[in-house]
Chain A
Amino acid sequence: KQEVTQIPAALSVPEGENLVLNCSFTDSAIYNLQWFRQDPGKGLTSLLLIQSSQREQTSGRLNASLDKSSGRSTLYIAASQPGDSATYLCAVLQGAQKLVFGQGTRLTINP
Chain B
Amino acid sequence: IAGITQAPTSQILAAGRRMTLRCTQDMRHNAMYWYRQDLGLGLRLIHYSNTAGTTGKGEVPDGYSVSRANTDDFPLTLASAVPSQTSVYFCASSGGGITDTQYFGPGTRLTVL
Contacts and interface: CB of A to CB of B under 8 A. Distances in A.
Contacts of B58: 98
Interface residues of B, number: 27
Interface residues of A, number: 24
A104 B42 contact: yes
A1 B77 CA distance: 27
A77 interface: no
B102 A31 contact: no
Nearest to B56: A96
Interface string B68-89: 0000000000000000000000
Contacts, number: 58
A59 to B, nearest CB: 12
Interface string A24-56: 000000011010100001111110010100000
19 contacts: A32-B98, A32-B99, A41-B107, A44-B43, A44-B102, A45-B104, A46-B103, A49-B99, A51-B99, A91-B43, A96-B50, A97-B33, A97-B48, A98-B48, A99-B45, A99-B102, A101-B42, A101-B44, A103-B41
Interface of A: 31-32, 34, 36, 41-46, 49, 51, 89, 91, 93, 96-104
